[in-house]
Structure 1
Amino acid sequence: MTSDLPVEVVGDGGGDQRWRTSVLCLAVGFGSRDDPEGQGGVAHLLEHLLMSAPLDGGSSLSERVERLGGQANAITGLDRMFFQVQVLGSQVPEVAGLLTRAVLEPCLDDGVLDTERQAVLQELAAAAADPSDTVQDAFLAALFPGHPLGRPVGGTAEEVRRLRLPDVLAVHREVFLDRRTALVCTGGTGPEEVAKHLAGTATTPTTGSVPAAVPLSEPAVEAWRPRTGGSDGFSWFATGGRAPAVDDPRRHAYTVLAQLLGPSPASVLYRTLRGREGLVYAFHTWERSYTESGAWRVLAGVEDGNLVRAQEVVRDLLLTVADRGPDPEDLAVARRQAVMDLVTRAERPWDHALTLSQETVLGTRSWSVSDGIRDLEQVTAEEVRLAAAAIAEHQTTVVRPAPESA
């Protein structure tokens, strides 16, 4: 990052002139894992505030972008936060400055805090009423007990109600602005052009530190068993295990394993779970890598009469892959699907910006779609077998609604 730029500006080329729009994604190495003790949900609330606070004495960043005809959104993850806008290429010079000022130099007050706190509380209430949402929080809490990665991103309603403006301002000033930040450019405008628009701006630069890793406890060793739920008809279960961290190349095998046991009709899990036994209508399998570790999981909603058997099918197939390795043809299909998923995301500028921010680790290493394709195509049967074995050894399963809530 040059001294006259407030953030690192990254992309994967000079802009794709086939696109009339451009996506700018301000990605920050900060997320819910960084919430101070007793202030769960402050990162998520801060995200809301930065998008909704008055900007330059006028309307908010979200409103100003959408009045231009563009789109604006923000996401809080476990260890990343993303602020995205998509606008016409001619609007990039104006919007690039608005985005960096809104996020790095906000004007926050009690009025916008109270308004957004109420919006967040409504969001938390909606999530709490949805078992397909609560089961994912419960899965991460069980996978990372007592660790920041196991915290719910939104915190609890009680924690959010306790937050005050000085708390939020302190987190923004002392933690958020201290983290590495990158402005990722995709679509029609390349990083060099965006950097020219930001050069010499008065926006305070971020310092670019990396959070200290928090040690993980060893996974609990206990015999796996299927879980029962507490609903009167339909339940959701999440089952899986830890995966490698974002800087560990072994994570690519877990990505391929997610396709091998994924929701495609070409996957071995689909053929059994949905095709042969008809236990579910739809399910999802994915892997995410974070600072200290990652998570691999299968998420499915099932009638209660199918709940135990559906879990057993997932378990049995994991054990089969862990014991024998994947069938060669199934592995080839899984690799092709993983590559296709990467490529199709790269052809959607909004999604590609998120991928670039993750794979370049906020601009600290080079990466291209070709690199990603190569990494996936080189995943071996033994690497997938070892991934399945690691998950099966410490497999974690949770069900919602939980039995005690029935």
Structure 2
Amino acid sequence: MYEFRTTDGPLPVMAVIDERLSTTTVCLASKYGSRDDPREECGLAHVLEHVLMSAPVGSVPSFSEYVERLGGHANAETGLDRMLFYAQVHADDAEEITGLLQQAVLRPRWNEKTLPQEKQAVFQELAAAAADPSDVVQDAFLAHQFPGHALGRPVGGTRESVERFDVSAMAAGHGERLLTAPLSLIVVGPAVPASADPLVAGVPPETLAHLGTVGRDLSGLPEPEADGPVRWPEEFAWVCAGARSVGNHDPRRPHYNVLAQLLGSSPSSVLYRRLRGEAGLAYAFQSWNRGYGETGAWRVLAGVAPGNGDAALAVIHGALEEIATDGPKPDDLEAARRQAQMRILTSVDAPLECARFLALRSGGPADWSPATEVESIAAVSAADLRDAAAQLLGGWRAVVRPEAS
């Protein structure tokens, strides 16, 4: 059995303590994401993430390399609304690595060598994403949902914007945005290392004083683009359909999460039975909900063969209409709730996934815990799903990639 703890302070700590674990996972979660970069610096947060994990820190060539040489795993990720830096190591190495991670992220050593190397890595990422229609279509969907807004921009930026970045731009983004955004530390392991205290880790008090001092601009969102006809290509394509949902800490978020399971890729879902089983229109598809601070996006992603696109969309839209009108059947609702709860429980049971799960929910209500999340899923009713489905239908948009030329 694990123990869940939270502490306050300039660097709040959220911890899952399980003495049976032989590894410790530590994650720094910043509420600085790609949406916080100026338009002309689109992609800077993503490049900065690469640089911080690859630059020299302390007496080692890079945080990532050092962790891997210890037999551990290190990685980082940038999203629209936050950045995560994490490592999983043997519990004996947790003290050193927890301190080193804070130094790498909060006290970087800028140099002229790391940035060019990491820009090349980012160029490869951008090229790989551009060659994958299932990636491209998701960027297009968000661009339709949030036209002209930072939430509609690609996280990785463009090759042109990345090429312009120099070390001074990295340092400015780090000081002006990462060091002024709320930051939290997540620990999953047999104990909380003493170096989880940033002062013990060697982070100067003046650095900590800036954390969380700058809030995100949540001024009005633009209306979604008009829903035009889908131009299906004469080849296999990916379609992304959905609408805006609610923010990450909105009490209605569990409604949309359960709805994603009700219309998800599990054989227990309504959409699986209709789209794959009865109609045979799609083999690969998934549904999910994601909160972005003041709003969110609920979507279905499906791969469709030539000639099946309109029929597949009709099945997806029809299933959502039926839920908005009649609500789900009791056994389908129960299955969807159990699926949503199991996603939480399996995340908590896997240390690295647990750290990421907690990081994505940090900064919410003080009384939040994985247990309360499970309880909130259990409380989702048929009426809640009717309301959620009706809201999604009101803003429904669908985009396909590649499009017909």
TM range (shorter): over 0.9
Deviation for aligned residue 1:229? 2.7
Inter-partner Cα distance in structure 2 for 1:25 and 1:202: 16
Inter-partner Cα distance in structure 2 for 1:350 and 1:75: 13
Per-residue CA deviation, residues 184-243 of structure 1 (Å, 9 max, x unaligned), is 0013233x7453585372443252233231321234565x75x2333x421001000101
Deviation for aligned residue 1:305? 1.9
Once structures 1 and 2 are overlaid, which stretch shifts more, 127-136 or 107-116?
Answer: 107-116
Matches within 5 A, 1:332-371: 332-361=334-363, 365-371=366-372
Per-residue CA deviation, residues 69-101 of structure 1 (Å, 9 max, x unaligned), is 110010101111000100011101100111000
Q: Is 2:220 aligned against 1:215?
A: yes
Inter-partner Cα distance in structure 1 for 2:348 and 2:7: 27
Inter-partner Cα distance in structure 2 for 1:287 and 1:376: 14
Inter-partner Cα distance in structure 2 for 1:52 and 1:126: 21
Per-residue CA deviation, residues 335-390 of structure 1 (Å, 9 max, x unaligned), is 1111111111111111111222232327x623222101110010111111111111
Deviation for aligned residue 1:22? 0.8
**Could you say what secondary structure the match of 1:30 adopts?**
coil
Aligned structure 1 segments of 4 or more residues deviating by more than 4 angstroms: none
Choose which of 137, 150, 168 in structure 2 pairs with 1:148. Answer: 150
Q: What is aligned with 1:11?
A: 15
Cα distance change on mapping 1:110 and 1:119 into 2, 3 Å: same
Cα distance change on mapping 1:200 and 1:234 into 2, 3 Å: closer
Cα distance change on mapping 1:390 and 1:194 into 2, 3 Å: same
Amino acid at match of 1:338: A
Choose which of 274, 277, 284 in structure 2 pairs with 1:275. Answer: 277
Q: What is aligned with 2:3?
A: none
Inter-partner Cα distance in structure 2 for 1:125 and 1:252: 35
Identity of counterpart residues, as a percentage? 46
Inter-partner Cα distance in structure 1 for 2:148 and 2:268: 38
How much is the aligned-residue C-alpha RMSD, in angstroms?
Answer: 2.0
Deviation for aligned residue 1:61? 0.3
Matches within 5 A, 1:110-121: 110-121=112-123
Count residues in correspondence.
396
Matches within 5 A, 1:93-112: 93-112=95-114
**Could you say what secondary structure the match of 2:75 adopts?**
strand
Q: What is aligned with 1:392?
A: 393
Q: What is aligned with 2:74?
A: 72
Gap regions ≥5 residues in structure 2: 1-5
**Could you say what secondary structure the match of 2:311 adopts?**
helix
Amino acid at match of 2:220: P
Amino acid at match of 2:246: P
Inter-partner Cα distance in structure 2 for 1:83 and 1:188: 20
Deviation for aligned residue 1:334? 0.6
**Could you say what secondary structure the match of 1:336 adopts?**
helix
Matches within 5 A, 1:106-255: 106-190=108-192, 193-195=194-196, 199=200, 201-203=202-204, 204-205=207-208, 206-209=210-213, 210-219=215-224, 227-230=230-233, 232-255=234-257
Inter-partner Cα distance in structure 2 for 1:305 and 1:179: 48
**Could you say what secondary structure the match of 2:39 adopts?**
coil
Deviation for aligned residue 1:182? 0.7
Inter-partner Cα distance in structure 2 for 1:2 and 1:338: 27
**Could you say what secondary structure the match of 2:308 adopts?**
helix
Gap regions ≥5 residues in structure 1: none
Matches within 5 A, 1:5-84: 7-12=11-16, 15-84=17-86
Cα distance change on mapping 1:112 and 1:308 into 2, 3 Å: same
